[in-house]
Amino acid sequence: MIQSERVLPLNHRPIPDDRPYVLYWMQSAQRASCNHALEYAIRQANLLRKPLLAFFGITESFPQANERHYRFMLEGLRETRMELEKRGIHLLIRRVSPEAGALELAAFAALVVVDRGYLRIERAWRNTLADGADCPVIQVETNVVVPVETASSKEEYTAATFRPRIHRIQDLFAQPLQEGKALVSSFGHNPSCDFFDLSDVDAALALLNIDRSVRSASARGGTAEAKRLLRVFLMDKLAGYADLKNDPGMELTSGLSPYLHFGQISPLEIMLELKDAPAAYREVFLEELVVRRELSMNFVFHNPRYDAYESLPAWARATLEKHRSDLRPYRYTRDELENAQTHDPYWNAAQNEMVLTGRMHGYMRMYWGKKILEWGRTPQEAFSTALSLNNRYCLDGRDPNAFAGVAWCFGKHDRPWGERDIFGNVRYMNAKGLERKFNMRRYLQRVALMNSGAPQS
Average pLDDT value for residue range 276-287: 93
Average pLDDT value for residue range 122-145: 98
pLDDT at 453: 64
Residue 370 lies in a domain: yes
Average pLDDT value for residue range 339-361: 97
Residue 32 has pLDDT above 50, yes or no: yes
Residue 445 lies in a domain: yes
Residue 434 lies in a domain: yes
Residue 398 lies in a domain: yes
pLDDT at 282: 94
Residue 190 has pLDDT above 90, yes or no: no
Q: Are 89 and 189 in contact (CB under 8 A)?
A: no
Residue 367 lies in a domain: yes
State the pLDDT confidence band at 402, using cuts at 50, 70 and 90.
very high
Average pLDDT value for residue range 415-423: 98
pLDDT at 457: 38
Cα distances from 111 to residues 11, 12, 58, 237, in angstroms, run 11, 11, 22, 44
pLDDT at 347: 98
Task: For residues 209 and 434, give the distance between their C-alpha atoms in angstroms, rounded to a whole number.
Answer: 42
Task: For residues 127 and 147, give the distance between their C-alpha atoms in angstroms, rounded to a whole number.
Answer: 19
Residue 189 has pLDDT above 90, yes or no: no
Residue 190 lies in a domain: no
Residue 196 lies in a domain: no
- The CATH number covering residue 439 comes to 1.10.579.10
Other C-beta atoms closer than 10 Å to the C-beta of 80 total: 27
State the pLDDT confidence band at 450, using cuts at 50, 70 and 90.
confident
DSSP state of 310: G
Q: Give per-residue pLDDT as tens, 2-18.
A: 999 999 999 999 999 89
State the pLDDT confidence band at 452, using cuts at 50, 70 and 90.
confident
What's the 3-state SS for 42-99?
HHHHHHHCCCEEEEEECCCCCCCCCHHHHHHHHHHHHHHHHHHHCCCCEEEEECCCHH
Instruction: Domain count for the chain, please give it.
Output: 1
Task: For residues 191 and 193, give the distance between their C-alpha atoms in angstroms, rounded to a whole number.
Answer: 6
User: Which of 399, 443, 48 is CA-nearest to residue 246?
Assistant: 443
Average pLDDT value for residue range 309-315: 98
Average model confidence (pLDDT) across the chain: 96
pLDDT at 17: 87
- Percent of residues, the chain, with pLDDT higher than 70: 98
Residue 22 lies in a domain: no
Task: For residues 120 and 304, give the distance between their C-alpha atoms in angstroms, rounded to a whole number.
Answer: 8
Q: What are phi and psi of 433, to 5 degrees?
A: -65, -40
Segments forming the whole domain that contains residue 348:
309-449
pTM above 0.85, yes or no: yes
Average pLDDT value for residue range 242-257: 95
The residue that leads in pLDDT, 86 or 188, is 86
